[in-house]
Amino acid sequence: MSTPVLEARKLFRRFGSRVVLRGVNLAVQPGEFVALLGPNGAGKTTLLRIFATLLRPNHGYVAVYGHRLPQNAPAARRHLGFISHQPLLYPDLSAEQNLYFFGRLYRVPELADRIASLLRMVGLYRRRRDPVRTYSRGMQQRLAIARALLHDPKVLLLDEPYTGLDQDAAQRLDELLQLIASQGRSVLMTSHDLGRVLDLAHRFVVLTQGRIVASARREDIDAHGGLLTFYREALARAARTPSGGKA
């Protein structure tokens, strides 16, 4: 098996006296789309933010493309694109202006061509000069994906990207994520929408009480009685075994 693009071993993170991640072990392989499932407060966002170099672990090993975190965070960031349910855009700037700003930060070569290509890919080229504050929630999320792809990262971290999207916008996001995955990028995405991730992800990982308690590939989900049954049973087992552990 090749070197993981994302790897955590015996990862712990606490905030004060509250332990949020308790010995997490997770590896994402090149080209793999992994859905990270779990209830609110499970530690999903904390795990993504550690991989994104926005938080430091208290204990354990974390690496992006073999670059140890936090020691080699600048090298790791070149491989990462991070998208949360907040688009993190400047509302009074146009789509083009937002991408020019972020592109200069990343020193993206041939920036004008790159921006035009990405805006076409996310379906916003015709609205490229409109202020972002005039965009719908779904349009802002698609522009956020273009921002995350500007420097051509090999790994995307998505934290609840469907939050606040209507059905049409969610469908367009489905299509965009399928396109991104087909380009060979690796994706780690948190979501509460089991129906959507079933069609997108190659593997499903359940995180609860700060521990990974189950993992299954898409082709094995039917043997578990479907994704919802797999998810519910993983949470039930974890509730019966407070010490946790991967199923």
| β-pair partners for 18 | 15
- The pLDDT, as a whole number, for residue 243 is 56
pLDDT confidence bin for 84, thresholds 50/70/90: confident
Measured on CA atoms in the order 112, 113, 117, 118, is the torsion positive or negative?
negative
27: region left, alpha or beta (phi > 0 left; psi from -120 to 50 alpha): beta
Measured on CA atoms in the order 101, 102, 103, 106, is the torsion positive or negative?
positive
How far apart (Å, rounded) are the C-alpha atoms in residues 20 and 14? 5
Q: Are 28 and 204 in contact (CB under 8 A)?
A: no
Two tokens at 105? 């930060």
- CATH class label, 1-79+155-247: alpha beta
- The HSE-up count of residue 223 (CA atoms within 13 Å, CB side) is 5
The structure's pTM equals 0.91
pLDDT tens digits, 29-61: 999 999 999 999 999 999 999 999 999 999 999
Token pair 């688009």 is found at 87
Please compute the mean of the pLDDT values over residues 190-210 and round it to a whole number.
Answer: 93
Q: Are 147 and 140 in contact (CB under 8 A)?
A: no
pLDDT tens digits, 15-33: 999 999 999 999 999 999 9
pLDDT tens digits, 212-229: 999 999 999 988 889 999
Residue burial 179-195, b: 16+ Cβ < 10 Å; e: rest: ebbeeebbbbbbbebee
Which phi and psi (to 5°) does residue 100 adopt? -60, -40
pLDDT, mean over the chain: 92
Domain with CATH 3.40.50.300 in the chain: 1-79+155-247
What SS3 class is residue 68? strand
Which of 66-75, 109-118, 171-180 shows the lowest per-residue confidence on average (mean pLDDT)? 171-180
Give the single-character DSSP code of 132: G
The three-point CA angle 56-184-157 to 5° equals 25
Could you check whether the bond before residue 91 is cis, i.e. omega within 30 degrees of 0? no
Measured on CA atoms in the order 161, 166, 170, 173, is the torsion positive or negative?
negative
Give the single-character DSSP code of 2: P
Token pair 């349009």 is found at 139
Q: Are 216 and 196 in contact (CB under 8 A)?
A: no
